[in-house]
Amino acid sequence: MKVVTFSIQEDKHIGVVQGEKIISLTALNAEKFPPCMKTFIEGSDNLRNEAEELIEQQQDDEKTVFPLSDVNILPPITQPEKIICVGLNYIDHCKETGMEPPASPVIFSKYANAIIGHNDAVEIPVNSNEVDFEAELVVVIGKEAKRVSEEEANDHVFGYTIMNDVSARDLQFADGQWSRGKTADTFAPIGPVIVTHDEVGDPHQLAISLELNGEIMQDSNTSNLIFTVPQIISFLSQSMTLKPGDLIATGTPPGVGMGRNPKVWLKNGDKMNIKIEKIGTLTNHVHG
């Protein structure tokens, strides 16, 4: 199932993408499916089953079914409790940054102020001249996870989406820690959809790429992750309780701007497309 948050005529909905159309769960039953993705995720398999039954029964009614081209795709989740990111999680990316592969996951955070959606603009901060791009697979937590084993970890996954871990490198490395350079406003484009874990299958066999102004900059596969999704979830859950709707960005492959010669920094008018197999394409442009 591909679930999405969207708006049409100022009304916000959650829905299911099928081909080139969206079936609005909110329009079908607003009481059961309010326009809040976290509520849907927290409802676990029960709400998903009810959603599937509703979709099977629905007719192609213009009040409940909308062409994708007619709606505004919003960030699937706007207020997660946590946005957790894993740094240096592809070996080749470690090499291009001049850093040794870590012995355990390198963890940092972004905040909700950074979240924007598909087709929204990344804003270059006034205090940065070195803004970079990073294509990442994101795990969406579906069930509370506390001190879970690697064997149990997959049971706590709702699905997967895409994030661009936009980074102001000059701010990131000037501070000695990464928060200011990683979580400026608009620095976490997410979406366009969340694909449930059953439809994705193995998250470690997905092609991942980033295209900047029509040129492929990053091109890899999640099979190259150093730490797997179960390892990351288990590692995090030993010290923090993961909640439904939490987002875990799993790291970026090689090809980022700071690893190039000459370096490539984002500028006004740039367009980025991140593609991840079985999930889709996240598109954003740059302003500033």
In terms of domains, do 116 and 229 share one? Answer: yes
pLDDT in tens, 73-112: 999 999 999 999 999 899 878 888 888 889 999 999 999 9
Cβ-count burial 211-236 (b if 16+ within 10 Å, e if not): bbeeeebbebebebbbbbbbbbbbbb
Give the chain's domain count.
Answer: 2
pLDDT in tens, 18-35: 999 999 999 999 999 999
In terms of domains, do 43 and 96 share one? Answer: no
SS3 193: strand
Four-residue CA torsion sign, 262, 266, 267, 272: positive
pLDDT in tens, 219-242: 999 999 999 999 999 999 999 999
In terms of domains, do 261 and 148 share one? Answer: yes
In terms of domains, do 117 and 25 share one? Answer: no
Q: What is the pLDDT of residue 176?
A: 86
pLDDT bin (cut points 50, 70, 90) of residue 138 is very high
For residue 39, which of 205, 244, 274 has the smallest C-alpha distance? 244
Phi/psi of residue 182, each to 5°?
Answer: -105, -20
The pTM score is 0.96
What kind and span of H or E run contains 162? strand 157-164
In terms of domains, do 69 and 168 share one? Answer: no
CATH code: domain of residue 13: 2.30.30.230
Strands 188-196, 247-249: pairing is unpaired
In terms of domains, do 178 and 278 share one? Answer: yes
In terms of domains, do 140 and 42 share one? Answer: no
Parent domain of 98 = 83-287
> Taking the CA of residue 73 as centre, how many other CA atoms within 13 Å lie in the half-sphere pointing to its CB?
26
In terms of domains, do 95 and 235 share one? Answer: yes
In terms of domains, do 59 and 91 share one? Answer: no
**pLDDT at residue 169 above 80?**
yes
Considering 46, 74, 102, which residue would you say is the last residue of a domain?
Answer: 74
pLDDT bin (cut points 50, 70, 90) of residue 45 is confident
- Do 43 and 34 meet the contact criterion of CB atoms below 8 Å apart? no
SS3 163: strand
In terms of domains, do 49 and 186 share one? Answer: no
